[in-house]
Amino acid sequence: MKRKRSEGLNRIIRRINTIEKNRPVHKEVLDFYKYIIREQHKIKPLIKVKRIDMNEEIAKAHIIEGFSLIDKKEIKPDIDSATTLFKNICRSLQRNNKKAAPEIKKINQAIRKGEIDLKELFGKLIAGDKEYIDSVGEETEFNKWLLLFLAESSVNPLLEAYAEKLKGYADQKSWFRSYCPVCGSEPVMGELRNVEGVEGAKFLVCSSCGFQWRYKRLGCP
């Protein structure tokens, strides 16, 4: 399993390096993105995932009815791992990005003052509480979108851990919907690949848990 995770990480890093080579103007952003991916990879073995009551019969019913395998509202965030990752990313940004450093300082100050509750923020993000997310930072001076990016980067490894446990229950042959069969989130991107004798099959990549599922070749999700 560890070897597979490393292979997946290396594959992503190689893709980013290729983009960086073709578009050197984006080197700073892409280097930071690689840092986040590596930190997420390192934190995964420490994440605590609660037991999931799932079997083939339940999974089949979910897939047929168009329900994702898990309801994100029922997921309890692993606060320790998410907070550790959040702080690591913040420190890196503050040290290496002059533009972001002042905003990181404001976010850290807001956390110390109790204006930001990381536990609540992580939980609401996972649950997809749009009303809460829209209200974040309304009466404060920090960059709301930077905070949300940092928080999402910190909780996504937890969702990926759930996807790893449930991926075997996702029926790739019958789920061609535009949202993730594991967690119900929207896709962040799509890609074409050759699989099972099909050339150029389209796969969508979940924006939250990273799961990849088949989708119809023609048409947009």
Mean per-residue pLDDT pooled into runs of 10, the chain (221 residues): 58 82 85 87 87 85 89 86 94 87 91 91 89 79 88 92 88 85 88 74 86 77 61
pLDDT of residue 25: 85
Q: How far is CA 203 from CA 16, 51, 206, 212, in A?
A: 19, 28, 10, 6
Domain edges within the chain = 47-168
| Helix/strand/coil percent split, the chain, to 5 | 60, 10, 30
| Under 8 Å between Cβ of 91 and 154 | no
Helix, coil or strand: residue 20: helix
pLDDT of residue 90: 92
Helix, coil or strand: residue 98: coil
Helix, coil or strand: residue 150: helix
Q: What distance lies between CA 132 and its chain's CA centroid?
A: 19
Contacts of 37 (CB under 8 A, 6+ apart): 9, 12, 13, 16
Contacts of 126 (CB under 8 A, 6+ apart): 72, 75, 77, 155, 158, 159
